[in-house]
C-alpha cells in the first residue's frame, strides 16, 4: 500500500498526547510477517493470544500486514498495542463479504473486521506520517449498491482505553465504534475522499464512512481530522458524558452529530455532550441532531460551541423526522418523538452555501429534504409540538454569498417561555437574533475519582483519575461541561 499524504493543515488540529498508555514492556509480542502477499491474520491472532495480559504487542516498523480475515482480540487486560507498520484489508470484495457473512457478533451499523474487548487497553499508531495506517480499499465499494456484508473497520469494546495517532484511508464503511466507558482518543486521522470526485461534483460517494461512533460513557475525542461522507463524530444511543474538541471535518462530512435515535420506536437516550472548537469545511452540516419519526427517549444537556464554518450547506440542523432514503419515509402513526432537551448553540462563524445536499442523495426528494427549506437557511428546526425544551442560540454569525441568511422554524412547536428564550425570532424567514452570548463565567469542580491502576514495567502501579461528570451553567444560561474528559496521571511511564 502507498499511504496518502497528510495535508499540512492537519498539524493545526493535533494535540499533545496526555497519556502514556497501558501494558508491560517486559512481556512483548512482535507480530510476525509472512511473504508480502500472504495473509498475516494467523500471526496477528497468535500475538494477541500470547500477550493477552500485562503485555505489549508490536506491529513492526516498515512492514505492511495483510489482515485478510476478521480478527477478534478478546479478554485483553493491561495491554499496549503499537502499530508501527501498516495494516491493510483485502481488495477481494467477494472474499470480504464471505468472511463478514460468517460473523455472528453484530455491532452498531454492521459487523466489525477488528473487534477489541477487555480492560485497560491502549492502541498507539506511529508518529511517522507514512506508518500507523489502516487501508480499507473502500473506494471500489462506494459506487456499488449497498451490501449487507460491508464491514465496520473496528469495535473498541474496552473499559478504560486509549487510542492515539491512528490513520485511516478509504474505509469500506464505518470506522470505529466505541461502545464502552472511560475512553480517550487523540489525534485521529481519516481520509475517505474519492479519487474521482469533489464535494460538489460526485461520481463515487463514500457512503457511511463515519469517523467515530461514540456510544459509551466518559468518552473524549481530542484532535480529530477527517474527510468523509457521513458523520465525522457521531454520538449514538446510550452515550453519556462525551467531550469532542479541536476537530476538523472536510470533504462532504455530515457533521458533528447526535443520533440517529429512536429507530423503530426504540427508547434511546444521549446525555451530557460538549462539542467545541470545531472547523467544518465543505460539510453538509455543522452541528446536527437526528431522531427517527416515532422515536422515544430523549437527548439532553448538549452544547455545541465555537464552530468555524467554511462553505457548509446547513450550519445547524435538528430533525425528528430522520428516515432511511433507500426505504422511504416510514408510515408511522405514533405522535411520539425523541425529546430534545437543554440544547445550546453558541459562537458559530463563517460561510455556508446554497447546495443543501451532496452525492449521498439517491432519492427524490433527497433524504435531508425538509418541507419549506430554502437556500439561505442557516438554522433548521424540524420538530414536533412541545417535544423540544430549553433550546438556545447565540452569536450565530454565518452568511452565504448573495443570499439572505434565514431560518426554518415553526413557532407553534414551542411553548411561550422556550420561544422567548430561543435567541432568534422563530419564523420561516430571515434570521434575526434576539440574544447575545455575552461573557461566560464557567464554574468547575475539580473533584477526582481514582478508580483504576496501571501496571508499569517494574511491577509498580500508577493510579489515574477517571472522568468526572462535571456540569455547569454559565451566567448567560448556556449549558456547558468541563473536565468530563479523561485525565491521566502524567507520571505514568511504561518504558
Catalytic residue among 230, 231, 342, 358: 230
**pLDDT tens sequence across 15-40:** 999 999 999 999 999 999 999 999 99
Mean pLDDT of 366-376: 87
Q: Could you give the maximum distance between any two Cα atoms of the chain, in Å?
A: 70
Q: What is the pLDDT of residue 148?
A: 87
Most confident range (mean pLDDT) of 343-347, 485-489, 490-494 is 343-347
Give me 406's grid cell. 434565514
Catalytic residue among 254, 281, 342, 382: 254
Q: How far apart are CA 415 and CA 406, in angstroms?
A: 22
Q: How confident is the model at residue 330 (pLDDT cuts 50, 70, 90)?
A: low
Give me 84's grid cell. 508501527
At 33 the three-state DSSP class reads: coil
Q: What is the pLDDT of residue 476?
A: 33
**pLDDT tens sequence across 375-425:** 999 999 999 999 999 999 999 999 999 999 999 999 999 999 999 999 999
pLDDT > 60? residue 491? no
Q: What is the pLDDT of residue 325?
A: 64
Q: How confident is the model at residue 283 (pLDDT cuts 50, 70, 90)?
A: very high
Higher-pLDDT residue of 458 and 204 is 204
Domains of the chain: 8-430 (2.160.20.10)
Higher-pLDDT residue of 196 and 334 is 196
The per-residue b/e assignment along 262-299, b for 16 or more CB within 10 angstroms, e otherwise, is bbebeebbbbbbbbbbbbbbbbbbbbbbbbbbbbbbbb
Q: What is the pLDDT of residue 441?
A: 33
Q: Active site includes 230?
A: yes
Q: How far apart are CA 202 and CA 34, in angstroms?
A: 39
Q: What is the pLDDT of residue 328?
A: 65
| Radius of gyration of the chain from its Cα atoms, rounded to whole angstroms | 22
Give the chain's count of helices (H) and strands (E): 4, 30
**pLDDT tens sequence across 195-218:** 998 888 888 999 999 999 999 999
Q: In the chain, what percentage of residues exceed pLDDT 90?
A: 75
Q: How far apart are CA 318 and CA 391, in angstroms?
A: 11
Q: How far apart are CA 424 and CA 407, in angstroms?
A: 9
Q: How far apart are CA 45 and CA 76, in angstroms?
A: 12
Q: What is the pLDDT of residue 381?
A: 97
CA distances from 148 to 59, 100, 206, 212 (A): 31, 9, 16, 20
Q: How far apart are CA 273 and CA 371, in angstroms?
A: 29
Q: How many CB atoms lie within 10 A of CB 429?
A: 15
**Pair 434, 424: CB distance under 8 Å:** yes
User: Is residue 47 within a helix (H) or strand (E), and if so which, with residue range?
Assistant: helix 41-50
At 166 the three-state DSSP class reads: coil
pLDDT > 90? residue 145? no
**Pair 294, 262: CB distance under 8 Å:** yes
Q: Quote the strand ranges of 136-239, DSSP E.
A: 152-164, 167-169, 176-178, 183-191, 212-214, 217-228, 233-235
The set of residues, in sequence order, having a beta carbon less than 8 Å from that of 301 and lying 6+ positions away, is 271, 272, 273, 341, 342, 471, 479, 481
Q: Which of 295, 268, 394 is nearest to 343 (CA)?
A: 394
Q: How confident is the model at residue 484 (pLDDT cuts 50, 70, 90)?
A: very low
Q: Active site includes 254?
A: yes
Amino acid at each position: 500500500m502507498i499511504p496518502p499524504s497528510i495535508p499540512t493543515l492537519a498539524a493545526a488540529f493535533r494535540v499533545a498526547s496526555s497519556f502514556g498508555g497501558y501494558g508491560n514492556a517486559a512481556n512483548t509480542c512482535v507480530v510476525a510477517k509472512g511473504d508480502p502477499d500472504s495473509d498475516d491474520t494467523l500471526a496477528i491472532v497468535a500475538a494477541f493470544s500470547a500477550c493477552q495480559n500485562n503485555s505489549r504487542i508490536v506491529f513492526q516498523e516498515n512492514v505492511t500486514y495483510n489482515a485478510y480475515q476478521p480478527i477478534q482480540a478478546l479478554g485483553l487486560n493491561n495491554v499496549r498495542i503499537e502499530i508501527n507498520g501498516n495494516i491493510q484489508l483485502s481488495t477481494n470484495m467477494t472474499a470480504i463479504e464471505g468472511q463478514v457473512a460468517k460473523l455472528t457478533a453484530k455491532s452498531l451499523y454492521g459487523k466489525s473486521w477488528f473487534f477489541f474487548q477487555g480492560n485497560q487497553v491502549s492502541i498507539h499508531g506511529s508518529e511517522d506520517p507514512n506508518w500507523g495506517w489502516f487501508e480499507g480499499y473502500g473506494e471500489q465499494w462506494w459506487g456499488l449498491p449497498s451490501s449487507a456484508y460491508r464491514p465496520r473497520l473496528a469495535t473498541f469494546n474496552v473499559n478504560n482505553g486509549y487510542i492515539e495517532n491512528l490513520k485511516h484511508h478509504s474505509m469500506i464503511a464505518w470506522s470505529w465504534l466505541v461502545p464502552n466507558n472511560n475512553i480517550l482518543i487523540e489525534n485521529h486521522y481519516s481520509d475517505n475522499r474519492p479519487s474521482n470526485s469533489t464535494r460538489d461534483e460526485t461520481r463515487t460517494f463514500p457512503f457511511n464512512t463515519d469517523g467515530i461512533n461514540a456510544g459509551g460513557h466518559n468518552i473524549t475525542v481530542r484532535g480529530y481530522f477527517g474527510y468523509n461522507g457521513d458523520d465525522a463524530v457521531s454520538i449514538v444511543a446510550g452515550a453519556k458524558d462525551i467531550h469532542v474538541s479541536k476537530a476538523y471535518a472536510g470533504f462532504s462530512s455530515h457533521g458533528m452529530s447526535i443520533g440517529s435515535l429512536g429507530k423503530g420506536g426504540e427508547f434511546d437516550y444521549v446525555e451530557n455532550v460538549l462539542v467545541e472548537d470545531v472547523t467544518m469545511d465543505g460539510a453538509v452540516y455543522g452541528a446536527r441532531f437526528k431522531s427517527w419519526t416515532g422515536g422515544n427517549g430523549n437527548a439532553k444537556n448538549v452544547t455545541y460551541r465555537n464552530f468555524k464554518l467554511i462553505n457548509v450547506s446547513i450550519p445547524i440542523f435538528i430533525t425528528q423526522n430522520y428516515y432511511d432514503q433507500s426505504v422511504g419515509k416510514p408510515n408511522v402513526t405514533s405522535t411520539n418523538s425523541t425529546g430534545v432537551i437543554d440544547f445550546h448553540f453558541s459562537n458559530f462563524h463563517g460561510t455556508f452555501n446554497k447546495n443543501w445536499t451532496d452525492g449521498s442523495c439517491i432519492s427524490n426528494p433527497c433524504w435531508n429534504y425538509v418541507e419549506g427549506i430554502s437556500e439561505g437557511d442557516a438554522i433548521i428546526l424540524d420538530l414536533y409540538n412541545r417535544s423540544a425544551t430549553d433550546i438556545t442560540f447565540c452569536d450565530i454569525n454565518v452568511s452565504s454569498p448573495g443570499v439572505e441568511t434565514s431560518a426554518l422554524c415553526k413557532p407553534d412547536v414551542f411553548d411561550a417561555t422556550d420561544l422567548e428564550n430561543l435567541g432568534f425570532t422563530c419564523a420561516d424567514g430571515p434570521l434575526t437574533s434576539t440574544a447575545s452570548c455575552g461573557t461566560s463565567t464557567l464554574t468547575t469542580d475539580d473533584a477526582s475519582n481514582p478508580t483504576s491502576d496501571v501496571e508499569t514495567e517494574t511491577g509498580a502501579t500508577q493510579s489515574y483519575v477517571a472522568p468526572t461528570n462535571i456540569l455547569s451553567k454559565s451566567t448567560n444560561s448556556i449549558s456547558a461541561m468541563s473536565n468530563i474528559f479523561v485525565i491521566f496521571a502524567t507520571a505514568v511511564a511504561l518504558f
